[in-house]
Structure 1
């Protein structure tokens, strides 16, 4: 297959040209147009590597589309997969939560169903994107470590993050923000919310630190990539580094992001944070980190379509020094490197032909076609 008449977003430059694909691999690219009659006309669009998503809980929405609605696994997985490729995502780490912040929540009930759906659909070859697993370990819970020890052997497990959403620290250093979020999420009255808050503080005191240390040790032993989550202070970051974290997910302060970079961790921030212009939790804005040169990876988190949109917004922001190739690295090359997925993430000879063709319409970029290993999936 030849894709012609495209603006190729390479590692360090953008060139007008064409690309040749054979047996799912990029065999050649050129800064000239092909004259062969069978070439696909890209109509001058951007051709970039397939997007790599490290942290999305989008799968939850399809398994439980409404409260108390339990959706069939095959349909849920298929719909989620379709949305991924429609967003330009060709490699996705589906994030599943271990140790729900509220016992009996839908995430805990759906855990095994979601993991089986990812594993079985990937094994059968029915997915359009490549799906792997990201185990989000909510540390202040007695179920977290036993669940992790059951699941860490599963083949798709690629990334583990250590999370603590208890009140008064990290994402919820502002206790009012904590109450606002969880009172709305669980429809709790003031009395029930106060009881819930005290319960979470007690759980954190009992379980967070032993779970953090035990899970990190398992990851080091099994060579599973480890991510910190919502680090807020230099002390948090130092601990994450000592535990072996390679990715700093959503640092909540400028100082934590800077310390993460100094310790060699890739700083990951939310693409919705870029699109919306700030954090919904009131923490450091991703565009501020981009302007300071402290942004390495973007994740769509809860909104898949934000990923490519955010990358282009970073490229267009005159307040930072990102070129278009560097901005595209945030959603392609950099996440691939963080996980040692060395066969993808760049347009280069011998790499996987995971590709996205996009066009600029008005003020927005629109995805026209997506290929995974040379096969058109959107």
Structure 2
């Protein structure tokens, strides 16, 4: 039995003091007193639920570095794992692009990486590894590959974006626009509208298959996100219900979305930090307070999550700020066994101290085991 005490245990609705009793990977009970004399005393330090990052591109980008091709994939996996454990992240969704960014026809790199992560995640690890596969509309092979991976139970979360043109396609469009203007004698404005309409049709061409995919993902218990608000509006009502998370809208778009819907809005910390003026940051706080931003994530910078949360806590309160990276993502992805410090839930906890006005992770407990500890 592992027992840890703190006078700053952060729950969803309060900050309490108590002894957290942990056994068999779960929180057994939280008491005001403990009969055990052997416990870890963290008086004055915060205990938070383990953080959940549902969109990290870190492992994908590391895999693209030429030097890393010399080593086994497990090297990247372990390096990323250690970094995120030290940042207090106990559940990490590796965001993998279905299509290789360098080679648009490459539908093998992404699925292979997903398989490698799945195999490595079955071993003894510091944190819980999940797979988030991101795909673009407009590729015929996309739906087949996603369905194949869903059938193999490889995926934990999928998200789609609109069709993104390559440089070659952009040049083709410019050439085509110039060609029809000369041959058909149409105005430049008309030709631009024609090319834009072709682009829209290309993006919408997979709508029926996408609707089917949403139903199949739901059947397999895999949640779906999107950054493509225009496509959502074109789906039938029932298919719209299959979308759980809106990814990285602009702040203006987020404020215009219905805060009472069952879709949660996720924003990347970096995108919320591009404008540091007080007016913009006040809008960010207001958007969170009114339910227009529900989840925070970080593509690459693991340690920024905790720092950002503690900054937000100055305006929102610690309980509300912490929920953006714990209970809210757990709710969105139906991770019912984590996201809060409650009896019977998975024992994913972090101990946070404030040093030089910066929150630092002193201890990470994942599935009931101490997997990281720093002695400051």
Interval containing the TM-score (normalised by the shorter chain): 0.7 to 0.9
Question: Is the CA contact (8 Å cut-off) linking 2:62 and 2:68 kept in structure 1?
Answer: no
3-state SS of 1:377 partner: strand
3-state SS of 2:139 partner: coil
3-state SS of 1:152 partner: helix
* 306, 323, 342: which one aligns with 2:336: 342
Instruction: Name which one, 1 or 2, has greater alpha-carbon Rg.
Output: 2
Question: Is the CA contact (8 Å cut-off) linking 2:99 and 2:109 kept in structure 1?
Answer: no
Cα displacement (A) at 1:18: 2.3
Give the direction of change, closer, same or farther, for the CA distance of 1:42–1:238 in structure 2 (3 Å limit): farther
Q: What is aligned with 2:138?
A: 140
Unpaired segments ≥5 residues, structure 1: 168-181, 183-187
2:237 and 2:156 mapped to 1: Cα distance?
Answer: 21
- Aligned pairs (5 A) from 1:110-259: 110-123=109-122, 125-164=123-162, 166=164, 194-195=170-171, 205-210=201-206, 211-231=209-229, 235=233, 242=240, 244-259=242-257
1:158 and 1:36 mapped to 2: Cα distance?
Answer: 39
1:236 and 1:31 mapped to 2: Cα distance?
Answer: 54
1:233 and 1:111 mapped to 2: Cα distance?
Answer: 24
2:3 aligned with 1:2, yes or no? Answer: yes
Q: What is aligned with 1:81?
A: 81
3-state SS of 1:143 partner: helix
Q: What is aligned with 1:96?
A: 96
Q: What is aligned with 2:22?
A: 21
Question: Is the CA contact (8 Å cut-off) linking 1:275 and 1:310 kept in structure 2?
Answer: no
Cα displacement (A) at 1:203: 6.5
- Please, which moves more after superposition, 54-63 or 92-101? 92-101
Coordinate RMSD, CA, aligned: 3.3
Give the direction of change, closer, same or farther, for the CA distance of 1:248–1:337 in structure 2 (3 Å limit): same
Cα displacement (A) at 1:364: 1.3
* 305, 318, 322: which one aligns with 1:328: 322
Q: What is aligned with 2:188?
A: none
3-state SS of 1:99 partner: coil
Give the direction of change, closer, same or farther, for the CA distance of 1:301–1:204 in structure 2 (3 Å limit): farther
* 256, 259, 262: which one aligns with 1:261: 259
2:80 and 2:237 mapped to 1: Cα distance?
Answer: 35
3-state SS of 2:343 partner: coil
1:7 and 1:197 mapped to 2: Cα distance?
Answer: 59
3-state SS of 1:144 partner: helix
Alignment length (residue pairs)? 346
Question: Is the CA contact (8 Å cut-off) linking 2:8 and 2:15 kept in structure 1?
Answer: yes
Question: Is the CA contact (8 Å cut-off) linking 2:270 and 2:298 kept in structure 1?
Answer: yes
1:234 and 1:221 mapped to 2: Cα distance?
Answer: 19
- Aligned pairs (5 A) from 1:266-305: 266-277=264-275, 286-287=284-285, 289-305=287-303
**What whole-Å deviation, never above 9, does each CA across 1:314-350 have from its counterpart, x for those lacking one?**
212x3xxx22111111111111111211111111111
Cα displacement (A) at 1:20: 1.1
Question: Is the CA contact (8 Å cut-off) linking 1:15 and 1:31 kept in structure 2?
Answer: no
- Please, which moves more after superposition, 88-97 or 251-260? 251-260
Cα displacement (A) at 1:215: 2.6
**What whole-Å deviation, never above 9, does each CA across 1:63-92 have from its counterpart, x for those lacking one?**
223489565211111112112211211111
